[in-house]
């Protein structure tokens, strides 16, 4: 159901030569911002792209940032031209609607409907892709997000790093303090990891004791090792749960794109396998490339 007009306005990013006569339609209200690029799409309810000609439609298909924008917001294309092949490709890339009508209320209604469809889509994605214990996306959502980014990398190559952390100490907390205490500790680990990262980085709960961290935008591959070290250092400080001090240790695996794979599953398998085979490291640091012998976890002292 669409929101009442008295609610806060829908935020719309307009890119290109799109007509904005619809902005004052009673179907809104709309709060419109113009821009050249699509990199801020995630901040808006909808993105409206103008495509005056068939060539403009084909140019949209070739935009490296279009698919991510369509994932982040309801993307609507306004056009007076026609190119069936380009239109089909745009819809397959996630565009919500391609509008050819010029009547402002009809355009406004199409944008508003696209926003509501996108909200339902995002709610459904959240429902199946959220780890209830931590509120983080789980493995399916991480793989979906990686797949989206990798599709962009095919057109605009750039390094990407996936870090997997296997955390030891949760089972000890459960045995000592109970299952709910272990859930609280897991949530606190998630919050601490999230606090070490940029807003654009993704943290996911990919197992009962395992977290994935995706660094989608890095300047150099060595940046991944620096972030991994920062994450491990953050986990070295004990957690307070039910009035008790709980310490954890972490084993780290890392997969680099494109060196270690070009699809989401192979990158996750590589990083996960490393995290599963290396010894969990507490104050000594972390291991990503070589298997170490048995070591004492921080919570075993």
CB 151 within 8 Å of CB 245? no
Name the β-bridge partners of 286.
none
Residues 147 and 209 in one domain: yes
Residues 160 and 232 in one domain: yes
Start-to-end CA span in the chain (Å): 56
Residues 114 and 47 in one domain: yes
Give the structural domain span for 143.
Answer: 139-300
Residues 61 and 120 in one domain: yes
Where a domain ends, among 78, 95, 129? 129
**Buried b vs exposed e over 93-110: b needs ≥16 C-beta within 10 Å?**
bbbbbbbeeeebeebbbb
pLDDT tens digit sequence for 54-70: 999 999 999 878 888 88
Q: Is residue 290 part of a domain?
A: yes
CA distance 286 to 73: 38
Residues 144 and 260 in one domain: yes
Residues 76 and 98 in one domain: yes
Residues 145 and 164 in one domain: yes
- Domain tally for the chain? 2
Residues 179 and 281 in one domain: yes
Residues 215 and 125 in one domain: no
Above 60 in pLDDT, residue 2? no
Instruction: Kindly report the backbone phi and psi dihedral angles of residue 43, in degrees, each rounded to the nearest multiple of 5, phi listed first.
Output: -85, -5
Residues 75 and 97 in one domain: yes
33-42, 151-160, 198-207: least confident range: 151-160
Q: What is the CATH number of the domain that holds 155?
A: 3.30.70.270
Q: Which residue has the higher pLDDT, 110 or 16?
A: 110
Residues 122 and 154 in one domain: no
Q: Is residue 3 part of a domain?
A: no
Mean pLDDT across 96-105: 90
CB 105 within 8 Å of CB 22? yes
Q: Is residue 5 part of a domain?
A: no
Q: Which two tokens mark 205?
A: 């709960």
Q: What is the CATH number of the domain that holds 34?
A: 3.40.50.2300
Mean of pLDDT over the chain: 84
pLDDT tens digit sequence for 201-244: 999 999 888 999 999 888 776 888 999 999 999 999 999 988 88
């Amino acid at each position: 159901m669409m929101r009442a007009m008295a609610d806060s306005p829908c935020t719309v990013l307009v890119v290109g030569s799109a007509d904005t006569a619809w902005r004052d339609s009673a179907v809104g209200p709309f709060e419109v911002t113009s821009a050249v690029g699509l990199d801020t799409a995630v901040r808006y309810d909808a993105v409206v792209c103008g495509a005056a000609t068939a060539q403009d439609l084909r140019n949209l298909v070739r935009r490296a940032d279009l698919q991510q924008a369509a994932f982040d917001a309801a993307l609507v294309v306004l056009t007076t031209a026609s190119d069936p092949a380009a239109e089909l490709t745009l819809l397959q890339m996630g565009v919500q609607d391609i509008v050819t009508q010029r009547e402002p209320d009809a355009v406004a209604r199409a944008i508003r409907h696209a926003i509501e469809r996108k909200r339902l889509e995002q709610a459904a994605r959240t429902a199946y892709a959220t780890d209830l214990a931590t509120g983080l996306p789980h493995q399916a959502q991480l793989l979906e997000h990686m797949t989206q980014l990798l599709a962009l990398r095919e057109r605009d190559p750039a390094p990407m790093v996936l870090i997997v952390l296997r955390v030891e100490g949760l089972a000890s907390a459960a045995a000592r303090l109970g299952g709910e205490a272990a859930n609280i500790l897991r949530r606190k680990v998630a919050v601490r990891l999230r606090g070490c990262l940029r807003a654009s980085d993704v943290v996911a709960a990919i197992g009962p004791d395992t977290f994935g961290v995706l660094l989608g935008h890095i300047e150099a591959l060595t940046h991944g090792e620096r972030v991994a070290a920062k994450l491990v250092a953050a986990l070295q400080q004990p957690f307070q749960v039910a009035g008790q001090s709980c310490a954890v240790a972490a084993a780290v695996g890392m997969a680099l794109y494109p060196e270690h794979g070009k699809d989401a599953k192979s990158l996750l398998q590589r990083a996960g396998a490393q995290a599963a085979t290396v010894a969990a490291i507490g104050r000594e640091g972390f291991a990503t490339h070589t298997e170490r012998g048995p070591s004492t976890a921080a919570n075993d002292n």
